[in-house]
Structure 1
Amino acid sequence: MAIYFHEEDLPEGVLAPGPVAVDTETMGLITPRDRLCLVQISDGQGDEHLVRFAVGSAYEAPNLKAVLADPARVKLYHFARFDLAAIEHYLGVMAAPVFCTKIASKLTRTYTDRHGLKDLVRELLGEEISKQQQSSDWGAPVLNDAQREYAASDVRYLHRMVEIFQQRLAREGRTEVAQACFDFLPTRVRLDLSGWADKDIFTHD
């Protein structure tokens, strides 16, 4: 298992076919204001690739965009709504189709309100991850080893967790509704980016 660090784009041909786990790091939680600094991606074979974008980046990244926009590759996320918005806004592609482990967790782990990645990795896989670097400066000129390890861990476990959630969704009879939620996420993201992030347009009000 290795963590590979790249500047501005993903090298061509480094990922095996099939689903890829994806995550992002930004300067904050307001997508149009807080720039995209890092995209993490893994094919589930044991390596993680970190693509860093510097201040003033043009976000060209043709190889990364080709993978993210590939309709034949399912993209695995934890809280896809945020990552899809950052990728759409800065890279200009909708990185779908989607499987979101946070949505799957909320649909199947109804016995708890703890749906963070750390909680899922602990319960489902029996492993511990540190979230200490979550709020660190992702726009720094140099990312330290702790930041790189944190970023890689955000995609390291998603393939294994998706297998478990697929079984649980089937067991609880919620596979179809989960898929409908995943399919709706690109529309939800476009509503977020267009100014309806905090509005429920489906209510009578």
Structure 2
Amino acid sequence: MANHLYQNDLPDELDLGPVVAIDTETMGLDPRRDRLCLVQMSSGDGDAHLVQIAQGQTEAPNLTRMLEDPRVLKLFHYGRFDIAMLENAFGVTTAPVWCTKIASKLIRTYTDRHGLKYLLQALADVDISKQQQTSDWGAVELTEAQIEYAASDVLHLHKLRDKLEALLIREDRLALAQACFDFLPTRARLDLLGWGDDNDIFHH
């Protein structure tokens, strides 16, 4: 297992395979206001690949090529936020996607705990620390603790997806979940355009 840190973009020769786990670190929780600082990815092989995004950066050709590639499934936890951040930063529509948080909410209706830490504990017997979640991700030099934290958010998503997908199949909700995943890029775009939770067009 290794963590690889890059500046501004993925290396030209890097192939992360057909299913890539992705997460982002930002300066805040408003994709229209707060800037993207880090994109972390894993192919599920135990390695994490982290791309540090410079302030004002608007292009990352290798990264955005992968995000748009219809042959690559992008795996998120709470993809709505990450997809919006990536679109706001690079003008890219990330698709196709799969979201472990949506899957959990559809299938684990016996609980209201759908955060990544709780999911990994319950379904993958993995305990991750969230201590660095609110640290300064805009720093020029990331600490080793930040790098380890960022990596932990993507290293186990493949396993988590397998567990959740099996439950969705068992309860005959996989097709419904897929319809939700397909809608996520549009939901993220609505957020960027101002139709967020306070002005949700699906509310009464």
1:63 aligns with 2:62: yes
> Whole-Å Cα distance in 1 between the matches of residues 108 and 13 of structure 2?
37
TM-score by structure 2 length?
Answer: 0.96
Match of 1:149 in 2: 148
Q: 1:24 is paired with a residue of what secondary structure?
A: strand
Residue deviations 1:81-128, cap 9 Å, x none?
000000001011111111100000011111111000000111111111
Match of 2:21 in 1: 21
Map 1:97-116 → 2, pairs under 5 A = 97-116=96-115
Q: For residues 53 and 93 of structure 2, what CA distance do their matches in structure 1 show?
A: 18
Q: After superposition, what is the alpha-carbon deviation per residue over 1:149-198, rounded to whole angstroms, capped at 9, x for unaligned?
A: 00001110001111111100000110011001001111111111111012
* Structure 1 Cα separation of the partners of residues 13 and 159 of structure 2: 23
Residues in 2 aligned to 1:56 and 1:176: alpha-carbon distance in whole angstroms: 39
Shift of 1:54: 2.0
Contact 1:26 1:36 in 2 (8 A): yes
- Counterpart residue type for residue 138 of structure 1: W
Output aligned runs, 1:101-140, within 5 Å: 101-140=100-139
Return closer, same or farther for 1:118/1:203 CA change in 2, 3 Å cut-off. Answer: closer
2:173 counterpart of 1:174: yes
Question: 1:202 — aligned with what?
Answer: 202
Residue of structure 2 in register with 1:165 after alignment: 164
Query: Match of 2:44?
Result: 44
- Distance in structure 1 (CA, Å) of the matches to 2:98 and 2:55: 30
What TM-score do the two structures reach when normalised by structure 1? 0.96
The separation in 2 between residues aligned to 1:14 and 1:2, in whole angstroms, is: 15
Q: Residues of 2 paired with 1:95 and 1:40: CA distance? A: 15
Distance 2:137 2:202 in 1: 36
SS of 1:96's partner is: coil
Deviates more, 1:10-19 or 1:132-141: 10-19
Work out the CA distance in 2 between the residues paired with 1:48 and 1:64.
14
Equivalenced residue count is 203
Identity of aligned residues (%): 60
Query: C-alpha distance in 1, partners of 2:96/2:83?
Result: 10
Measure, in 2, the Cα distance between the counterparts of 1:8 and 1:168: 38
Cα distance in 1 for residues equivalent to 2:161 and 2:8: 28
> What is the root-mean-square deviation in Å for CA atoms of aligned residues?
1.0
Q: 2:116 is aligned with what amino acid?
A: L
Q: How far is the alpha carbon of 1:9 from its aligned partner?
A: 0.5
Q: Which consecutive unaligned segments of at least 5 residues does structure 1 have? A: none
- Aligned-partner residue type, residue 169 of structure 2: A
